[in-house]
Amino acid sequence: MSVEILNVSKSFGDTHAVQDVSLTIEQGEIFALLGGSGCGKTTLLRMLAGFESPDSGDVRINGESILALPPFHRHVNMMFQSYALFPHMTVEKNIAFGPAQDGLSKQEIAERVDEVLELVQMERYRKRKPAQLSGGQQQRIALARSLAKKPSLLLLDEPMAALDKKLRMRMQLELVSIVEQVGVTCIIVTHDQEEAMTMSNRIAIMDAGRIRQVGTPQEIYEYPNSRMTAEFVGSINLLPATVTACAESTTLQLKDAASTVVCRDTRAREGEAYLVAIRPEKVALSTEDEAAGPNCLRGVIDDIAYLGSHSVVHVRLENGKIMQAHMSNVSRDARTQIDFEQPVTLSWEPESVLLISEDD
């Protein structure tokens, strides 16, 4: 049951909420739409659910367009950000609401209710009203309710937004295991990159109504295709540079610095300008004054943020720019081995370097 989104656009007045978006989501896949607020991800989700209709383009499930169907006739169910549990109905009634609309018999409805309640392990709470449940419990009921109709596509709108941070981590894993158990195709909308990476098989990054990159969490993180995605997911060092030589590896001359960078990216042509992108955890920090060479920069420590498992070290380069490096706190006194204004050398492997086009 694949979901195809074909060249979908939608404007509200002058704002182009969604612009020419095309995506294919495979059967059983958990797919995340990741982006900041106002990037159009929620509008896209609401178009799948049927609460908005696109200005142009098509949405197909198993090859059939669903655009002509009103929300109540689509085999698509959504778990709302606020959960939208009906406050005047018990847990049981909430879950039975969907199957009842399909005209199932009382017995069938009861079986469905039992089935999904067992799935989310909430059998004991079936007679409660939503207001009598905790946030995590409400979320499970909301999930159960949206699964009770056995939809071909499940939509999760900011599923963790209403939970506190500790509960979030647990529920992310639990939700994924339930969704995988059911095997339903699932689209998650979120602004939280960690959530998207933990929960989904593939991620689409959205910005200003457009899809910027689609890929597995690893692809998105290790091979961002643009400055926007590189900066949106995790933190990254970006150094402007110009290609000076291309052979088996590419050599670049850094702007405002004497050092050169060598990388394995062979798309580049001589004379082109790029941003050299290196994730901070791939930068090695050394207090010894190592010999200068390619992939090596000198500087002094500007700031240290101690985060327990590792420290984020800000190094002021000779040209005044700041570069980040992660230092793993392998020993307890790791933090005390470095200090502000201490001269350090930063270095990295050619494999860790990614080239990103300047203009985008």
Partner 1 sequence: MKLTKIMLGFGFAFLYFPLVILVIYSFNESRLVTVWSEFSVKWYFELFKDEQLINGFLLSLRIASLTACASVVFGTMASYILVKFGRFPGQTIFSGLTVAPLVMPDVITGLSLLLLFVGLNELIGWPSARGATTIWIAHVTFCIAFVTVVVSSRLREMDGSLEEAAMDLGAGPVKVFFYITLPIIMPAIMSGWLLAFTLSLDDLVIASFVSGPGASTLPMVIYSSVRLGVSPKINALATIFVVCILISSTASWWLANRFSPASGGTGKTT
- What are the residues binding partner 1 (CB under 8 A)? 49-51, 70-73, 76-78, 80-88, 97-98, 101-102, 129-131, 134-135, 138, 145-146, 149, 162-164
Which of residues 10 and 212 has its CB atom nearest to partner 1 in the complex?
10
Tokens, residue 302: 């500007």
Which of residues 164 and 288 has its CB atom nearest to partner 1 in the complex?
164
Which of residues 148 and 239 has its CB atom nearest to partner 1 in the complex?
148
Which residues, in sequence order, are CB contacts of 184 under 8 Å at separation 6+? 28, 147, 150, 151, 152, 153, 154
Q: State the minimum distance, in angstroms, from the CB of residue 22 to partner 1.
A: 24
Among residues 206, 202, 154, the alpha carbon closest in space to that of 18 is found at: 206
Angle at 235 between CA 249 and CA 195, to 5 degrees: 120
Q: State the minimum distance, in angstroms, from the CB of residue 172 to partner 1.
A: 17
Do 274 and 243 touch, CB atoms closer than 8 A? yes
Which of residues 17 and 205 has its CB atom nearest to partner 1 in the complex?
17
Q: Tokens 């899809």 — which residue?
A: 211
Q: State the minimum distance, in angstroms, from the CB of residue 144 to partner 1.
A: 12
Q: Longest C-alpha distance within the chain, in Å?
A: 79
Q: State the minimum distance, in angstroms, from the CB of residue 264 to partner 1.
A: 48
Which of residues 78 and 327 has its CB atom nearest to partner 1 in the complex?
78
Which of residues 131 and 330 has its CB atom nearest to partner 1 in the complex?
131
Which residues, in sequence order, are CB contacts of 257 under 8 Å at separation 6+? 239, 297, 317, 318, 319
Q: State the minimum distance, in angstroms, from the CB of residue 149 to partner 1.
A: 7
Q: State the minimum distance, in angstroms, from the CB of residue 194 to partner 1.
A: 20
